Amino acid sequence: MTYQAVIFDLGGVVMPSPLDAFRAYEAEAGLPHRFLSEIVLAGGDDGAWSRLERGELNLSEFADTFESECAMAGGTVVVSDLFASIESASAPRPKMITAIERIRSEGLRVGALTNNWHADNAQEPRNDKVTKDFLGNLFDVVVESAIEGVRKPDPKIYEITCDRLAVSPTETVFLDDLGTNLKPARAIGMATIKVEDPDKALAELAALLKFSLEEA
């Protein structure tokens, strides 16, 4: 199989996972392990986190709702502190950046597909400067849930990404750190890689693409 495009999740793939920031915050705030993840899962599609990532809430609106959800579960969460922790741990992984540059140098198209959120008082996604200056130069296409109004794992957002890259799903490899986000990608024909160990994931990607992803 000859692939024409590679799509990367951001948090947990190109950058460290927000789940790492969750764990750090839980430890600092004296919350039970996985408390925040369980709140997000329990909320489902109608919960504050999902609504934030679909662009239905800005950070201020989200903070009120999410802090209430946490309080109802018996925990005290300060969203501004939680998000400061997430932002402080979002430096890109150098090997991923090198791999993306190598993929583009081989003539393949590269996209980013991320669940993100609007900043306060703006209809722009978080890290707007990063998105425009860094991601915009690194990727051919950046698809953001807060702009599209749909989030992973909804199949529609994968189709949007493929359409903008002008490739079919079967010509595409998708990398994500969450199995729930990989399942719908496989269902529409994408090759998928679960990123648990970034080095192993890149080795698997290099094997699929049949060229080295290391710096020349």
Angle in degrees, 0-180, between the axes of helices 79-88 and 59-72, rounded to the nearest 10: 110
User: What are the residue ranges spanned by the domains of the chain?
Assistant: 5-16+91-209, 18-88
Could you tell me which CATH number the domain at 5-16+91-209 has?
Answer: 3.40.50.1000
Q: Can you give the pLDDT at residue 121?
A: 52
Q: What is the pLDDT along the chain (216 residues), one digit of tens a residue?
A: 899 999 999 999 999 999 999 999 999 999 999 999 999 999 999 999 999 999 999 999 999 999 999 999 999 999 999 999 998 888 899 999 999 999 999 999 999 999 999 876 544 445 444 555 677 789 999 999 999 999 999 999 999 999 999 999 999 999 999 999 999 999 999 999 999 999 999 999 999 999 999 987
Give the residue from 28, 154, 144 showing the smallest Cα distance to 88: 28
Q: Can you give the pLDDT at residue 131?
A: 52
Q: Can you give the pLDDT at residue 91?
A: 87
- Residues 113 and 141 sit within 8 Å (Cβ to Cβ): no
Q: Can you give the pLDDT at residue 1?
A: 82
Strands 172-176 and 191-194, how do they pair? parallel
CATH value of 18-88 in 1.10.150.240, 3.40.50.11540, 3.40.228.10, 1.10.238.10: 1.10.150.240
Distance CA 23, CA 28 (A): 9
Question: Phi then psi for 98, rounded to 5 degrees?
Answer: -60, -45
- Residues 41 and 29 sit within 8 Å (Cβ to Cβ): no
Q: How far is CA 193 from CA 24, 54, 151, 186, in A?
A: 26, 24, 19, 10
